[in-house]
Structure 1
Amino acid sequence: MEIITKFNIGTGDMLPALMEEVTREKFSALVSTGTIEKYIDDKFDRKVLMADLNNIANQVLVVYVDNKPAGYAHITAKGQKPEVLGSKRGIRLAEFGILQQYNEDAVRLSLFEKCMLVTKSYDGVWINEYAESSLISFFESKGFVPQDESFGLEGLPLPAKCLVKLRV
């Protein structure tokens, strides 16, 4: 199995479809179909997506397994910064998801390591993840620390946790 993670260049048809599929898989058991579809329509609207991808404050990474898109991560400077970062330079891992059929340690690790490489010039990285996500333990095992504050999931009525990885 060949695993490679790289920057997404342009949107094409692959990225929106991948984002939508990951979102459906991740949240379908947690919220209604109507809620997911509205979230997808709002969040992955082509104009919004193009604007995000053409904004220097955003990066999208895609992990491929045997040349098939398997997951993605969205890194952005947007979003409310956790208090623990204070005046430090922080960056947010806004989305991190892998399709269920590829959800293996090696795939997750490839995407994560590329995210950490891209964000290495920052003092800290944070992520808001829904509270029951299996990714929470993964991020904690990689040095992310749960915070007392949480910023929600921007459009989904789910409890969330904020995790921060500080670089010393």
Structure 2
Amino acid sequence: MSIISKFTVGSEEGISDLITIIDSSVYTMHKGLVPEEDLKTYIKNNIDPRKMINDLNDLSNQLIITYIDEKPAGYSILKSSSGHPALPEDKRATQISFVILPEFDSPEARESLWKKSRAAASFTDIIWMNIMNHDPLSTFLKESGFSVAADTTAGPFQLPSQILQFEIRRG
């Protein structure tokens, strides 16, 4: 099995791979919690390739896609200068999203995406994310050093979630 996590630009191919992962992950994360018709409507109305290209061409954003046997399996988007009220104000914060599709989820895939994401965020003080309570990656992230900063809600359907933070230690 070949696992590669690499920086991806807002090109047609990169956005196509990202949308493939997003569409699948939206269904997976909300299945049984949100009516399927609502999921289809959300994807149709909110997954906009042009907006994604514009977001990724913003120099403060970075996209990393993990490929397993050349298939898009997960992604991380880093947004610099993005804070949250639950985090210390005197620290530079970078928000990340961290997604691996269940059919590709493995310790090796998680490690590959996390190592690349962590390296990309080495300039910041705190990495943070808003992750749904039922997300299977939550345990991995906590084992990797993330701690809970706050309980909240996430996503388009405002499901229970936690703000997780990872403090960058410089030595």
TM-score by length of structure 1 reads 0.89
Name the residue aligned to 1:87.
90
Name the CA distance, whole Å, in 1 between partners of 2:160 and 2:151: 11
Gapped regions of structure 1 (runs ≥ 5) = none
| 1:162 equivalent in structure 2 | 163
AA at the equivalent of 1:164: Q
Deviations 1:144-167, CA, capped at 9 Å, x for gaps = 0012353x3242220111110112
Structure 2 unpaired stretches of 5+: none
State the match for 1:7 in structure 2: 7
The change in CA–CA distance for 1:87 and 1:11 in structure 2 (over 3 A counts) is farther
Q: What is the correspondence of 1:105-144 to structure 2 with a 5 Å cutoff?
A: 105-144=107-146
Deviation at 1:79, TM superposition (A): 4.8
What's the counterpart of residue 153 of structure 1? 154
**CA-atom RMSD, angstroms?**
1.8
Q: Distance in 1 between matches of 2:92 and 2:83?
A: 13
Equivalent residue for 1:59?
62
Residue pairs, 1:12-31, within 5 angstroms? 12=13, 13-31=16-34
CA contact (8 A) 1:82 1:149 kept: no
Count of residue correspondences: 166
Contact 2:128–2:163 (8 Å) recurs in 1: yes
Identity of aligned residues (%): 26
* Equivalent residue, structure 1, for 2:74: 71
Q: Does the CA-based 8 Å contact 1:62-1:71 persist in structure 2?
A: yes
Cα drift, residue 108 of structure 1: 1.1
Taking the aligned partners of 1:41 and 1:76, their CA distance within structure 2 comes to: 24
Q: Aligned partner of 1:146: which letter? A: V
Separation in structure 2 between the aligned mates of residue 63 and residue 104 of structure 1, nearest angstrom: 12
The normalised TM-score by structure 2 is 0.87
Contact 1:60/1:74, CA 8 A, preserved across alignment: yes
